[in-house]
Amino acid sequence: MHSKYKKIEQVVSRLNMPSYRYEQILTSIFTQRISEYTQMYTLPKQLRCALANEMGNSVCLVRPVSVKAAKQAGKVLLALPDGNRTEAVALRYERGWESFCISSQCGCGFACRFCATGTIGLKRNLTAEEITDQLLYFYLNGHGLNSISFMGMGEALANPHIFDAITLLTDTRLFGLSQRRITISTIGIVPGIQKLTRHFPQVNLAFSLHSPFEEQRSELMPVNKKFPLYGVMNALDGHIQATGRKIFIAYTLLYHVNDSPNHAKAVANLLQSRGSWGRLYHVDLIPYNPTDKTTKEYTPSGRYRIRQFYEILKAEGISVTVRAQFGSDINAACGQLFGGE
Amino acid 125: pLDDT: 95
Confidence at 97, pLDDT banded by 50, 70, 90:
confident
Confidence at 275, pLDDT banded by 50, 70, 90:
confident
Question: What structural domains and CATH numbers belong to the chain?
Answer: 4-55 (1.10.150), 63-330 (3.20.20.70)
Confidence at 277, pLDDT banded by 50, 70, 90:
confident
Amino acid 336: pLDDT: 43
Amino acid 295: pLDDT: 57
Q: Between the CA atoms of 167, 104, 186 and 95, what dihedral angle is there, to the nearest 10 degrees?
A: 80
Amino acid 334: pLDDT: 45
pLDDT at residue 338 is higher than 80: no
Q: In 136-187, at which residue ranges do the beta strands (DSSP E only) sit?
A: 147-150, 182-186
- Residues 153 and 108: beta-carbon distance below 8 Å: yes
pLDDT at residue 35 is higher than 70: yes
Tell how strand 182-186 and strand 147-150 pair up.
Answer: parallel
115 included as an active-site residue: no
pLDDT at residue 60 is higher than 90: yes
Calculate mean pLDDT across residues 49-74.
90
pLDDT at residue 305 is higher than 80: yes
Amino acid 179: pLDDT: 97
Dmax (CA) of the chain: 69
Amino acid 293: pLDDT: 62
Letter for the amino acid at 300?
P
Confidence at 92, pLDDT banded by 50, 70, 90:
confident
Confidence at 68, pLDDT banded by 50, 70, 90:
confident
Residue of 126, 116, 168 whose CA lies nearest to 145: 168
**Among 60, 87, 101, 115, which one carries the catalytic annotation?**
87
The predicted-structure confidence for 167-186, as pLDDT tens digits, reads as follows 999 999 999 999 999 999 99
Calculate mean pLDDT across residues 243-248.
96
**Among 101, 108, 334, 341, which one carries the catalytic annotation?**
334
Calculate mean pLDDT across residues 73-98.
87
pTM of this prediction?
Answer: 0.90
Residue of 156, 154, 155, 134 whose CA lies nearest to 74: 134
pLDDT at residue 76 is higher than 60: yes
CA distance 20 to 28: 12
pLDDT at residue 294 is higher than 90: no
* Average pLDDT of the chain to the nearest whole number: 90
pLDDT at residue 111 is higher than 80: yes
Confidence at 328, pLDDT banded by 50, 70, 90:
very low
Calculate mean pLDDT across residues 207-216.
96
Residue of 260, 280, 284 whose CA lies nearest to 271: 280
Range of weakest confidence among 145-149, 186-190, 329-333: 329-333
Of residues 340 and 182, more confidently modeled = 182
112 included as an active-site residue: no
